[in-house]
């Protein structure tokens, strides 16, 4: 009798568990998808093995590409940090987005986005999404109208200031409005590697919101200078990339961890180690989603904010970080603005697709809106690339536009396979631009401006009319921090 009762008890419990599990699966399927956007910092077009890197591999990011879609012609919002992120957050290119340069605010932070800026986070929060940002902000000093908590993010942990984010063993981080001192990094100490607590906070955010729909913005500081990584990662690459490149930086004094980069005797090993570390973090995020049963209802996008930098010992030529592309960070040639872009969405995106659809950061906001079923308010420059993700007919841009406020002023326009680039705009606004055919010449080696003068005039007219003045940045402004 007791045996029969026990057997019945087990069966009833198994049925109950089965029903609960089935109900949870059904709720997950009907719930709007979670969205995670991972932004690497100064990662070049050729710095992932799925984009041609041969010196080291990035298996976790590669797997996202193998199981999802890889874009071959995706562009950053700008060629430096703050304006690129402003473009991403607002769906506006740098002719319209409010932040168009790395203008600093003393003692810590950057010039803030205006209070009424319409951001991805505000849009999704209005739709009931829980929103979190973990990493580097750079769009408004602590407590300002541009602070992430005032731009739609329920939770923020990381570096508010881009200058402080130069450092991997910083004195402090920000958790919302709380300044969190990292005691292991006092003085010259290097006890807490900055990306680690950021990553742990991101994982905790996913865990805490597993039963809610969330948007997580993960703007990593890797692999931006300085070139530091934990020893267990550096030792995997020590002696493999000879001759090593040594960088002598600032290791003590008043400027320690205040902007100037620290010394690195093994720049090559450190760079590979940093990208490896970032790749491992991506793998851990995916593992957490799978552990919680959220993977099939989560979209992950991975990209970089601009092309590779050359500061702090970085050696993009050694690693062929641009592939065949010309230019680096701060250039408006392809190497400065064309970036890797991978999107992963199990059972929605057909695995192993490579797309040559021409897209840019300002397309992310309308894409996310369409994924979430959100209503966009206000004008934007972007076009949703969700049709490309789902294998449907895709609308295309008439043109893409960039402007850059350092180094004499720079502008660029892409229309179809044509690219017009103009440098020294401040010094010589009527100077001769350069014209390239990106299909025949993706490396921008042959200037065709003299042969196709009509096309130059056409694109120059687009360039002239593609922008409006910003209260923060007039085009001739030189108010920026060139180190960021």
Percent of the chain with pLDDT over 90: 87
Torsional class of 52: left (φ above 0), alpha (ψ -120 to 50), beta (otherwise): left
Yes or no: say if 340 and 38 are a contact pair by the CB < 8 Å rule.
no
pLDDT at position 6, please?
45
Residue at 105 is within a domain: yes
pLDDT at position 43, please?
98
Strand blocks (E) in 22-147 = 34-40, 69-75, 130-136
Residue at 468 is within a domain: no
The count of structural domains within the chain is: 1
Whether 472 shows a pLDDT value over 80: the answer reads: no
Q: Starting at the earlier edge strand, list the strands of the sheet with 400-404.
A: 400-404, 410-415, 418-422, 434-437
Confidence of residue 377 (pLDDT cuts 50, 70, 90): confident
Q: Give the residue from 313, 349, 327 showing the smallest Cα distance to 412.
A: 327
The neighbour count for residue 118, using CB atoms within 10 Å, is 20
pLDDT at position 15, please?
45
Averaged pLDDT, 316-343: 98
Give the residue numbers spanning the domain of 377: 32-396
Whether 1 shows a pLDDT value over 80: the answer reads: no
Question: Residue 45 is encoded by which pair of tokens?
Answer: 């077009």
Residue at 5 is within a domain: no
Whether 303 shows a pLDDT value over 80: the answer reads: yes
Whether 348 shows a pLDDT value over 90: the answer reads: yes
Strand blocks (E) in 327-423 = 338-344, 353-355, 359-360, 400-404, 410-415, 418-422
Alpha-carbon separation of residue 381 from 254, 360, 389, 401, 468 (angstroms): 44, 10, 19, 10, 13
342 bridge partner residues: 70, 302
- The Cβ-side half-sphere exposure at 224, using a 13 Å CA radius, reads 28
Q: Give the residue from 22, 70, 40 showing the smallest Cα distance to 135.
A: 40
Averaged pLDDT, 311-334: 97
User: Please, what is the average pLDDT of the chain?
Assistant: 92
Averaged pLDDT, 375-387: 93
Q: Would you mind telling me the total number of residues written for the chain in this entry?
A: 484
Percent of the chain with pLDDT over 70: 91
pLDDT in tens, 207-229: 999 999 999 999 999 999 899 99
> Residue 416: CB partners within 8 Å, gap ≥ 6?
none
Question: Residue 256 is encoded by which pair of tokens?
Answer: 């320690």
**Based on C-alpha coordinates, what's the Rg of the chain?**
23
The CATH number that applies at residue 194 is: 3.40.720.10
pLDDT at position 30, please?
60
Q: Lowest mean pLDDT: which of 4-8, 31-35, 290-294, 420-424?
A: 4-8
Confidence of residue 470 (pLDDT cuts 50, 70, 90): low
d(CA 140, CA 192): 25
The SS3 call for residue 201 is helix
Burial label for 148, CB within 10 Å (0-12, 13-18, 19+), is buried
Q: Give the residue from 275, 405, 406, 418 showing the smallest Cα distance to 334.
A: 418
pLDDT at position 430, please?
86
Residue 75 sits at φ, ψ, to 5 deg, of: -120, 145
pLDDT at position 484, please?
54
pLDDT in tens, 232-241: 999 999 999 9
pLDDT at position 471, please?
55
pLDDT in tens, 172-188: 999 999 999 999 999 99
Confidence of residue 480 (pLDDT cuts 50, 70, 90): very low
Residue at 469 is within a domain: no
d(CA 127, CA 121): 10
d(CA 147, CA 132): 13
Q: Provide the whole-model pTM.
A: 0.92
pLDDT at position 378, please?
82
Confidence of residue 469 (pLDDT cuts 50, 70, 90): confident
Residue at 153 is within a domain: yes
Buried-state track 375-401, b at ≥16 Cβ within 10 A, e below 16: ebeeebbbbbbbebbeeeebeebebbb
Pairing type for strands 298-304 and 338-344 reads antiparallel
pLDDT in tens, 286-297: 999 999 999 999
Q: What is the dihedral of CA 261, 262, 268, 270, to 10 degrees?
A: -110
Residue at 471 is within a domain: no
Residue at 210 is within a domain: yes
- The Cβ-side half-sphere exposure at 155, using a 13 Å CA radius, reads 19
Torsional class of 51: left (φ above 0), alpha (ψ -120 to 50), beta (otherwise): alpha
pLDDT at position 102, please?
92
pLDDT in tens, 114-156: 999 999 999 999 999 999 999 999 999 999 999 999 999 999 9
**Angle, to 10 degrees, between the axis of helix 195-208 and the axis of helix 267-291?**
10
Confidence of residue 27 (pLDDT cuts 50, 70, 90): very low
Cα angle at 399 between 479 and 337, to 5 degrees? 50
- The Cβ-side half-sphere exposure at 231, using a 13 Å CA radius, reads 3
Whether 331 shows a pLDDT value over 80: the answer reads: yes
Q: For the residues of 208-229, what is the DSSP string, one character each?
A: HTTTS-EEEEEE--TTSSS---
Yes or no: say if 196 and 220 are a contact pair by the CB < 8 Å rule.
no
Whether 18 shows a pLDDT value over 80: the answer reads: no
**262 Cα distance to chain centroid:** 24
């Amino acid at each position: 009798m007791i045996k029969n009762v026990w057997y019945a008890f087990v069966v009833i419990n198994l049925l109950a568990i089965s029903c609960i599990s089935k109900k949870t699966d059904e709720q997950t399927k009907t719930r709007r998808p979670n969205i995670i956007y991972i932004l690497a910092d100064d990662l070049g077009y050729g710095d992932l093995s799925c984009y041609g890197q041969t010196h080291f591999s990035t298996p976790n990011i590669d797997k996202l590409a193998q199981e999802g879609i890889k874009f071959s012609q995706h562009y950053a919002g700008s060629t430096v940090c703050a304006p690129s992120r402003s473009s991403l957050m607002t769906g506006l290119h740098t002719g319209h987005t409010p932040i168009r340069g790395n203008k600093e605010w003393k003692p810590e932070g950057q010039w803030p986005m205006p209070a009424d800026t319409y951001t991805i986070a505000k849009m999704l929060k209005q739709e009931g999404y829980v929103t979190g940002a973990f990493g580097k902000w750079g769009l408004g000093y602590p407590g300002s109208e541009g602070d992430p908590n005032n731009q739609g993010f329920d939770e923020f942990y990381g570096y508010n200031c881009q200058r402080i984010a130069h450092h991997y063993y910083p004195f402090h981080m920000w958790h919302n409005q709380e300044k969190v001192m990292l005691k292991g990094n006092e003085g010259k100490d290097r006890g807490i590697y900055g990306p680690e607590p950021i990553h742990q906070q991101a994982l905790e955010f996913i865990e805490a919101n597993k039963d809610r729909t969330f948007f997580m913005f993960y703007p990593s500081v890797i692999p931006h200078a300085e070139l530091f990584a934990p020893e267990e990662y550096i030792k995997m690459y020590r002696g493999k990339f000879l001759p090593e490149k040594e960088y002598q930086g600032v290791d003590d004094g008043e400027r320690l961890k205040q902007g100037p980069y620290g010394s690195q005797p093994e720049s090559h090993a450190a760079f590979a180690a940093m990208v490896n570390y970032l790749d491992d973090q991506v793998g851990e995020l995916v593992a957490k989603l799978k552990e919680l049963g959220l993977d099939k209802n989560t979209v992950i996008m991975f990209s970089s904010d601009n092309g590779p930098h050359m500061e702090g010992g970085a050696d993009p030529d050694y690693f062929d970080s641009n592939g065949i592309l010309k230019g680096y960070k701060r250039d408006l040639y392809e190497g400065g603005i064309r970036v890797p872009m991978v999107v992963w969405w199990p059972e929605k995106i057909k695995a192993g697709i490579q797309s040559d659809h021409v897209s840019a950061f300002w397309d992310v906001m309308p894409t996310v809106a369409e994924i979430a079923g959100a209503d966009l308010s206000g004008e934007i420059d972007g076009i949703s690339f969700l049709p490309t993700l789902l294998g449907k007919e895709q609308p295309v841009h008439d043109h893409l536009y960039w402007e850059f406020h350092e180094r004499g002023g720079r502008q660029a326009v892409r229309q179809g396979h044509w690219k017009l680039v103009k440098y020294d705009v401040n010094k010589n606004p009527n100077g001769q631009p350069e014209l390239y055919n990106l299909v025949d010449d993706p490396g921008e080696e042959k200037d065709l401006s003299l042969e196709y003068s009509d096309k130059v005039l056409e694109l120059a007219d687009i360039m002239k009319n593609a922008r409006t003045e910003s209260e923060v940045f007039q085009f001739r402004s030189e108010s920026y921090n060139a180190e960021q």
